[in-house]
């Protein structure tokens, strides 16, 4: 089957997410769909999978125009969408999962378990998979769960399968297993759309590639004709580097040092240090483990092993309260979930961190908190009516500044900023950059976590790039560029230069 | 609650007006006033002898308040617990357990603990009161630890302690009826001008202290933060577990006080039934007073109002001659109605 999507447009409010995108997927090929976060990959595939309607444009199956109102219709037409979060029920055996929602029933509505089990075994045999249909899904490793999902799609006679980052949570041998399965399917004439951030895998398994950037299809072609470097360049675009921010750099003694820090799942073998007056960047793709790393350093999560030094003294941080006392500040990502307390007013949101620091016998020193915040209002240029208004009355940018204010008032030695410009408009973004530079000039050690390469390049003195929970490499100084960062972030290495 | 107001502090009247304008209790106060007016009308205003009428009205009120002081005190702690996003079902059983233990200490019979140590009179009473509060503190802290360190859902953990405390108390108190010294009863029954209002004073004093604690102390505000957004509170350096354990511990201490009041009022306790249903009454008072079961929202003052609304309603039903079995239904109606009412208000 040949799937064509022609002239697809889609916008969410004012935000144009897809602009005139046309793609073709043929049966019997594996086609990579790549692009940075927010490039429009998911939206495009959600349209194909019947999850979202397109604003305009048409989908053709073997030349015939079709319209999908919901995922079920798309599936009936032969298009299966395997989401990143798998859709399996842990407490049911494999064969029952294969027939979820379309169980085979015998007379009187009784479930016909025998037939379901047989049919599952059939599929596995056809696909050359060694798996007991009666195994509980809970006991399967991540790759077999993926495989069960794929087999389910096969059983529904899917002729095109969309796989959204199927390998993110898999280990190397597991990835091999899934790839084998994909190759078997391809040889049987199924078309596969493989969404991935890992360019090496794209080179490995795909015949063709399609690159989305800012909602437009910017490149497509045969994988054999390009290198991972080319793909990385397509993803970020040509030299989009803008003016470098400047400041008086005075780097002092080491403040925070981390040695061989390991987590149960999210990260491993982390080593780095940051000095006074330095801005250190941490970047990578979604799910690279950097947020988990710094939440653990901040005492909000447990680490398995490793050592942390602050001002040359080894510390064991057991809670966020302890981290705060030691002089570590952490501005979290996802402001709404992790930072804003919606039932409290602006002043309270801006002073929660400093309540215990300036309390007299457990009683909040309101005048002092007001004074501290008033200072920050001027310094950060926070626009508000009254400090006793609800925090919900502020715009995203101003809320972010309030969150920043609560940490500045605590005067930390190290300030960790996780996605500091998330969801703020361009103007506020530049203002926040200025604040960060100013703080570094005053001798604060600053760590900026961001998935925007531009932000890292413009702000940081050097940056560590993470990939699947470990530090893949370092970029620094004037030679930092998006290309190198993307390369490291997708698991590549930099050639020595 | 608008705690840290700035600007517009134009004297007492100005502050009062500001408060009035954006006070979430406005509706609750109106409902309470309406009920009180209704109640007054039902009692019948007597133009001929205002003095006599007023003293009857006052007596009725002192009765209402005194009868609800125990639950009222427990509801104050329950409010903190609910604001953190938790619940404490064990307050009634804890009350019985502490009551039993306190009575054993005070017993003037041969098995009396303090009596056997030779401690009687005022020192014994003081020791008993301290003991009751300490026992509440320990039980509350243990509950808090079960919930935080043990990671058991508050509903389940306190359902467990509720069953344990009640049954163990009943088992050990079989066939044992401690006798409490008469003097001890003065704690609750002291008469001033023929009126008994000691429990009301305890309730009022504790409420005032806790209003201050909730609005002005680090812990009081952290309770709100934890209930509203636990993760954000944690990432702001709040020790979430300690805040939660604090709420259950405070509730335990308050149950200890309520238990002493209960013992001191009648000098005896029905270990099978005393305090049962208190958890629901305390929760109802908090909810009627505007505390959200989802956490993050609620005030001590609101809970006092909520308790009063339920109490006046009870009194009214009594005056109207509604059969006793139906009165619980009325309570249920109030709880549901008040939540519906508040939802509209906050939307």
- Give me the mean pLDDT over the A316-331 stretch: 95
B38 occurs within a structural domain: no
Report yes or no: A231 at the B interface, CB cutoff 8 Å.
Answer: no
Most confident of A71-85, A239-253, A407-421, B319-333: A407-421
What pLDDT is attached to residue A13?
73
CA distance B218 to chain A (A): 6
Q: What is the dihedral of CA B336, B337, B340, B345, to 10 degrees?
A: -140
CA distance B191 to chain A (A): 37
What pLDDT is attached to residue A286?
72
Better-scored residue on pLDDT, A483 or B261? B261
Residue A169: pLDDT band (50, 70, 90) is: low
Q: Which of B83, B215, B235, B296 to mutate to test the interface with A (most CBs of A within 10 A)?
A: B235
> By CB neighbour count within 10 A (0-12 exposed, 13-18 middle, 19+ buried), where does A284 fall?
buried
Instruction: Decide: A213 and A36 in contact? Cβ < 8 Å.
Output: yes
Residue with tokens 């061989």: A260
Residue A238: pLDDT band (50, 70, 90) is: low
Tens digits of residue pLDDT in B79-118: 999 999 999 999 999 999 999 999 999 998 888 888 888 8
> By CB neighbour count within 10 A (0-12 exposed, 13-18 middle, 19+ buried), where does B140 fall?
buried
d(CA B301, CA B70): 16
B202 occurs within a structural domain: yes
What pLDDT is attached to residue B5?
43
Q: Which of A333, A336, A343, A363 to mutate to test the interface with B (most CBs of B within 10 A)?
A: A343
Find the CB nearest B225 among A319, A330, A352. A352
What does pLDDT average to over chain B?
A: 88
DSSP B258-318: HHHHHHHHHS---TTTTTTTHHHHHHHHHHHTT--TTSS---HHHHHHHHHHHHHHHHHHH
SS3 A103: coil
Report yes or no: A16 at the B interface, CB cutoff 8 Å.
Answer: no
Q: What topology is assigned to A254-489 in CATH?
A: Rossmann fold (3.40.50)
Find the CB nearest B221 among A323, A337, A348. A348
Report yes or no: A370 at the B interface, CB cutoff 8 Å.
Answer: yes
Interchain pair B233, A347: CB under 8 A: no
Tens digits of residue pLDDT in A302-316: 888 999 999 999 999
The domains of chain A are located at 3-236, 254-489
Neighbours of A229 (CB within 10 A): 15
Residue A291: pLDDT band (50, 70, 90) is: very high
- Give me the mean pLDDT over the A272-276 stretch: 95
Better-scored residue on pLDDT, A453 or A169? A453
- Give me the mean pLDDT over the A331-335 stretch: 90
Report yes or no: B199 at the A interface, CB cutoff 8 Å.
Answer: no
Percent of chain A at pLDDT exceeding 70: 96
Residue with tokens 């988990």: A292
- Give me the mean pLDDT over the A8-29 stretch: 88
Residues of B in contact with A319 (CB under 8 A): 239
Find the CB nearest A321 among B2, B6, B237. B237
What pLDDT is attached to residue A40?
85
User: In terms of residue numbers, what domain contains B250?
Assistant: 64-275
Residues of B in contact with A343 (CB under 8 A): 224, 227-228, 296-297
Interchain pair A388, B235: CB under 8 A: no
Tens digits of residue pLDDT in B163-186: 999 999 999 998 888 989 988 998
Instruction: Decide: B263 and B180 in contact? Cβ < 8 Å.
Output: yes
Residues of B in contact with A414 (CB under 8 A): none
What pLDDT is attached to residue B127?
95
Residue A398: pLDDT band (50, 70, 90) is: confident
Structure tokens at B210: 């806790």
Helix and strand numbers (H, E) in chain B are 15, 2
Q: Which residue of B has its CA nearest to A386?
A: B6
SS3 A390: strand
Closest CA to A192 of A342, A33, A347: A33
Q: Which of A334, A368, A388, A404 to mutate to test the interface with B (most CBs of B within 10 A)?
A: A388
Structure tokens at B64: 């209402």
SS3 B255: helix
Min mean pLDDT across A466-475, B3-12, B77-86 is at B3-12
Structure tokens at B226: 């934890």
Better-scored residue on pLDDT, A108 or B286? B286
Partnered with residue A59 across adjacent β-strands are: A5, A66
Please determine, for residue B347, whether its predicted confidence score (pLDDT) is greater than 60: no
Min mean pLDDT across A446-450, A474-478, B92-96 is at A474-478
What pLDDT is attached to residue B3?
43
What is the number of CB-based contacts under 8 A between chain A and chain B?
100
What does pLDDT average to over chain A?
A: 88
DSSP A350: H
> Which superfamily does A3-236 belong to?
P-loop containing nucleotide triphosphate hydrolases (3.40.50.300)
Min mean pLDDT across A302-311, A421-430, A480-489, B153-162 is at A421-430
B159 occurs within a structural domain: yes
Report yes or no: B233 at the A interface, CB cutoff 8 Å.
Answer: yes
Residue with tokens 């509903």: B155
Please determine, for residue B38, whether its predicted confidence score (pLDDT) is greater than 90: no
Q: Which of B237, B244, B302 to mutate to test the interface with A (most CBs of A within 10 A)?
A: B237
Q: How many domains does chain B have?
A: 1
Please determine, for residue A426, whether its predicted confidence score (pLDDT) is greater than 70: no
Q: Is-same-fold flag (A3-236; A254-489)?
A: yes
What pLDDT is attached to residue B48?
72
Residue B94's contacts (CB-CB under 8 Å, 6 or more residues apart) are B136, B139, B140, B161, B165, B252, B255, B259, B275
Residue A25: pLDDT band (50, 70, 90) is: very high
Structure tokens at B232: 């954000």
d(CA B199, CA B68): 9
Min mean pLDDT across A99-113, A210-224, A334-348, B105-119 is at A99-113
Closest CA to A193 of A74, A9, A41: A41
B16 occurs within a structural domain: no
Please determine, for residue B8, whether its predicted confidence score (pLDDT) is greater than 50: no
Strands A208-213 and A216-222: antiparallel
Residue B240: pLDDT band (50, 70, 90) is: very high
The complex's ipTM? Answer: 0.83
């Amino acid at each position: 089957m040949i799937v064509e999507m022609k002239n697809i447009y889609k916008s969410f409010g004012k935000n144009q997410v897809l602009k005139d995108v046309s793609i073709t997927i043929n049966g019997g090929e594996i086609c990579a769909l790549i692009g940075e976060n927010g490039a429009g990959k998911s939206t495009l595939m959600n349209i194909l999978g019947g999850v979202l309607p397109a604003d305009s444009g048409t989908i053709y199956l073997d030349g015939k125009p079709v319209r999908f109102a919901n995922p079920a219709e798309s599936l009936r037409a032969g298009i299966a969408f395997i989401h990143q979060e798998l859709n399996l029920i842990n407490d049911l055996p494999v064969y029952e999962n294969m027939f979820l929602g379309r169980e085979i029933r015998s007379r009187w509505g009784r479930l016909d378990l025998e037939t379901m089990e047989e049919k599952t075994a059939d599929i596995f045999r056809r696909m050359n998979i060694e798996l007991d249909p009666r195994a509980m899904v809970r006991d399967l490793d991540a790759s077999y769960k993926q495989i069960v999902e794929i087999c389910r799609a096969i059983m529904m006679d899917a002729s095109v399968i969309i796989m959204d980052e199927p390998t993110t949570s898999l280990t190397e041998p597991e990835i091999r297993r899934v790839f084998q399965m994909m190759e078997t399917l391809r040889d049987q004439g199924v078309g596969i759309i493989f969404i991935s951030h890992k360019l090496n895998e794209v080179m490995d398994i795909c015949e063709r590639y399609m690159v989305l950037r800012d909602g437009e299809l910017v490149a497509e072609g045969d994988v054999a004709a390009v290198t991972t470097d080319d793909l990385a360049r397509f993803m970020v675009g040509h030299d989009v580097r803008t003016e470098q921010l400047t400041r008086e750099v005075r780097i002092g003694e080491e403040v925070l040092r981390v040695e061989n820090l390991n987590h149960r799942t999210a990260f491993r073998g982390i080593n780095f240090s940051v000095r006074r007056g330095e801005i250190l960047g941490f970047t990578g793709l979604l799910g690279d483990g950097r947020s988990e790393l710094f939440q653990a350093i901040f005492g909000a999560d447990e680490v398995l092993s490793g050592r942390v030094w602050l001002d040359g003294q080894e510390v064991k941080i057991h809670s966020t309260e302890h981290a705060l006392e030691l002089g570590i500040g952490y501005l979290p990502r996802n402001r709404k979930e992790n930072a804003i307390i919606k039932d409290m007013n602006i002043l309270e949101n801006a002073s929660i961190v400093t309540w215990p620091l300036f309390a007299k016998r457990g009683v909040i020193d309101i005048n002092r908190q007001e004074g501290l915040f008033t200072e920050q209002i001027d310094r950060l240029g926070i626009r508000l009516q009254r400090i006793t208004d609800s925090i919900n009355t502020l715009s995203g940018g101003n809320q972010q500044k309030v969150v920043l204010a609560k940490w500045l008032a605590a005067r930390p030695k190290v300030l960790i900023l996780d996605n500091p410009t998330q969801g703020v408009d361009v103007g506020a973004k530049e203002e926040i950059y200025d604040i960060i530079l100013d703080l570094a000039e005053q001798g604060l050690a600053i760590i900026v976590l961001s998935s925007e390469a531009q932000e890292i390049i413009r702000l940081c003195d050097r940056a560590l790039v993470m990939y699947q929970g470990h530090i893949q490499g370092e970029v620094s100084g004037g030679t930092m560029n998006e290309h190198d960062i993307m390369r490291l972030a997708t698991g590549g290495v930099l050639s020595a230069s | 609650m608008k705690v840290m107001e700035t600007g517009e502090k134009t004297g007492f009247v100005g502050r009062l007006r500001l408060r009035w304008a954006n006070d979430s209790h406005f509706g609750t106060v109106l409902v309470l006033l309406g009920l009180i007016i209704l109640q007054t009308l039902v009692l019948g205003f007597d133009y001929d002898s205002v003095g006599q009428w007023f003293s009857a009205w006052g007596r009725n009120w002192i009765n209402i308040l005194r009868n609800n002081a125990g639950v009222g005190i427990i509801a104050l702690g329950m409010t903190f617990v609910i604001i953190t996003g938790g619940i404490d079902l064990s307050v009634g059983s804890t009350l019985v357990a502490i009551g039993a233990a306190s009575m054993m200490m005070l017993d003037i019979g041969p098995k009396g603990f303090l009596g056997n140590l030779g401690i009687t009179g005022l020192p014994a009473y003081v020791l008993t009161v301290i003991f009751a509060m300490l026992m509440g503190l320990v039980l509350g802290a243990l509950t808090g630890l079960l919930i935080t360190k043990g990671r058991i859902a508050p509903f389940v953990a306190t359902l467990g302690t509720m069953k344990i405390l009640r049954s163990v108390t009943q088992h050990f108190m079989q066939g044992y009826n401690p006798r409490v010294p008469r003097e001890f009863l003065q704690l609750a029954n002291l008469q001033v001008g023929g009126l008994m209002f000691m429990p009301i004073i305890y309730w009022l004093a504790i409420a005032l202290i806790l209003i201050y604690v909730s609005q002005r102390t680090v812990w009081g505000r952290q309770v709100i933060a934890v209930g509203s957004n636990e993760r954000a509170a944690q990432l702001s350096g709040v020790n979430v577990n300690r805040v939660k354990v604090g709420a259950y511990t405070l509730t335990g201490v308050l149950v200890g006080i309520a238990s002493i009041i209960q013992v001191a009022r009648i000098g005896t306790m029905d270990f099978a039934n005393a305090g049962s249903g208190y958890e629901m009454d305390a929760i109802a008072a908090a909810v009627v007073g505007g505390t959200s079961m989802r956490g993050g929202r609620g005030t001590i003052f609101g809970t006092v109002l909520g308790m009063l609304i339920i109490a006046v309603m009870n009194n009214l039903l009594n005056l109207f001659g509604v059969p006793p079995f139906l009165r619980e239904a009325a309570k249920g109606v109030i709880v549901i109605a008040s939540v519906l009412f508040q939802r509209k208000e906050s939307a």
